[in-house]
Amino acid sequence: MCGIAGIYHLETPKPVDPDRVARMCDAIAHRGPDGAGVWTAPGVALGHRRLSIIDLAGSPQPMPAPDGRAMLVFNGEIYNYRELRHELRQHGAQFRTDGDSEVILAAWQRWGPDCVSRLHGMFAFAIYDCDARTLFLARDRLGVKPLFMAPLSDGSLAFGSELKALLAHPLLRREVDPLAVEDYLAWGYVPDTRSMLKGVTKLPAGHTLLLRHGAPMPVPVQYWDVSFSERRKGKPADLEAELLHLMRQAVSSRMVADVPLGAFLSGGVDSSSVVALMAEASAQPVRTCSIGFDDAALDETNYASRIADRYRTDHVSRTVSSDDYEAVDALAAMFDEPFADASALPTWRVCQLARESVTVALSGDGADEALAGYRRQVFLHGEDRMRALMPQALRGPLFGALGAVYPKADWAPRPLRAKTTLLSLAGDSAQGYARALSFAPPELRESLYSPDYLRLRGDYRAEDQMLALMRTAPARSGLDRAQYADLKFWLPGDILTKVDRTSMAVALEAREPLLDHRLIEFAASLPENLRVRGGQGKWLMKHTMRRFLDDDILFRPKQGFVTPIARWFRGPLAGAAGAIADSAALAGTGWFDTRRLATIAEAHRTGRADHSRLLWQLLMLDRSFTVLGIA
């Protein structure tokens, strides 16, 4: 696990200053405190910061191929590298190291761009082919590892693991993309289809990019997608056995490391499943860690302790203050782009705890997206049944009118938020799901914007890309399309961004076994009634794990990391909320109705409404503008 950066001249192979790339790498030194290196050739420079995980002394980067004809910088882990090494040796490849980096180089020299289809793992890497003078960029299938890119005024392309690597380049323009603000307010993050800064892009998950000197900037090529269009047949017992085999395979393959390894343990279904399978595969006690809160309503450590006791793990738990609001500025600096998922804060804290004893930690991320574990997916499944009973021509006007007049109840559990449900039912499945997924729905965003911003935004709406993704998905049903959107849009933009930045901020490698692409492909082929049944999501997984976990672990309501931001904005952060309207960063854009922002802050402070999620969004946007040097 590491950080990478580089510069490639698209037009003519001009010399590249190695100090410039070194500064880009220094900006992401937290990702790799164990080593650093820069390599240059005419028209190209590659930089690397290393966090040693496998072959601790033998795999420094940038890494040349044995014949010197290719050079690699790589962030991530290849879990099938030993099998690939054996196969490549049969084709004449020679290896000087025991790590996975050299296997990528050999795979490139054997299979070219198709090498990525052979790699099982999480990765973002760059390979410079010295003979062809091409630069090959690749990102893993699900987008676990990030890769930012930006064309610069000198004709070069700069790239790096985080935006802060590009910010270290003096030619990077720091101009906000106004459409990214619309995206951010809709989703709570800037999706991979855009960046907060104009001209900066992200290589999409499951894509590669092959650059040549003297050729125009190409379009990324997709090498992997997930399809929900087929339905696997078989008895539930047989499918349970297949799922368990895939989960065991995914967990065991991610337990290979030459450094201390452990797991996050929240006591929920997913992390508990991972820990149970780790314990089954390990001859030594698994190291686990949990974060608890001093607020009993937020604390889950008793469930984590039960799993730790059952599997005799080497468990450590720490209670943190639920009023951990002082870390706001640290979070903004960590993410660069605004990021409004408040669970990033406790995620960072559990990463800090894990790093005290391990360098690698397995997490339970991915099962909700793949196996329909989110409540919003279960609700959509039920709403689609209702949609099928009433034509759109009747349903749209009826439920739309009812939803417009029904009072808003953000404080209530989702099933009791009739306004949200009515407005969802007024549209088709994709429209309903986009509304369920959004942080700030369209009508709320409209009320925040100034006339100048509305003219600037024009006809663009953040939901457009989500609707297009769902409506063109390789899928059969609304549930299929929702899960497809979660895997392709929500997962890389929110969940994986959160885990990557918070773990790498403390030089911890987080691995996600439940995002093994073979498991994802299997899950996508399951009949709907094996994903959602009786109001329960992840049905097949929960029944598969009954031999490992008790029912009150498997079937209790989903909780997740909860941060009490509503209380903060009525207490210690009330002043920060009130100051948002006068923020130099936000007011300076001229894009917001500052009187409206002040009214929202006051309504929340006095308890007349719960605007905590919106206030947190705006606060993180304000702090991000400062980090990006825009204020």
Return the ∠ at Cα 230 (arms to 227 and 234), rounded to 5°: 130
**Radius of gyration of the chain from its Cα atoms, rounded to whole angstroms:** 24
Residue 534 exposed, middle or buried by CB count within 10 Å (0-12, 13-18, 19+)? exposed
Q: What is the DSSP string of 332-385?
A: HHHHSS----TTHHHHHHHHHHHHTT-SEEE--TTHHHHHT-SHHHHHHHHHHH
Instruction: Assign 71 to helix, strand or coil.
Output: strand
Residue 262 exposed, middle or buried by CB count within 10 Å (0-12, 13-18, 19+)? buried
Buried b (16+ CB within 10 A) or exposed e, 167-187: bbbeebeeebbbbbbbbbbbb
Q: Distance between CA 6 and CA 604 in Å, rounded?
A: 46
Residues 6 or more apart in contact with residue 439 via CB below 8 angstroms: 185, 186, 187, 188, 340, 613, 614, 617
Which of 1, 2, 7, 11 has its CA nearest to residue 24?
7
DSSP 8-state secondary structure symbol assigned to residue 538 = S
Q: Distance between CA 284 and CA 346 in Å, rounded?
A: 28
For residue 176, give the amino acid letter.
V
Catalytic residues: 2
Instruction: Assign 190 to helix, strand or coil.
Output: coil
Residue 449 bridge partners (DSSP): 592
Which segments within 103-152 are labelled E, that is strand? 121-129, 134-139, 148-151
Asked, as a colleague might, if the bond just before 170 is cis with ω within 30 of 0, I would say: no
Residues 6 or more apart in contact with residue 444 via CB below 8 angstroms: 614
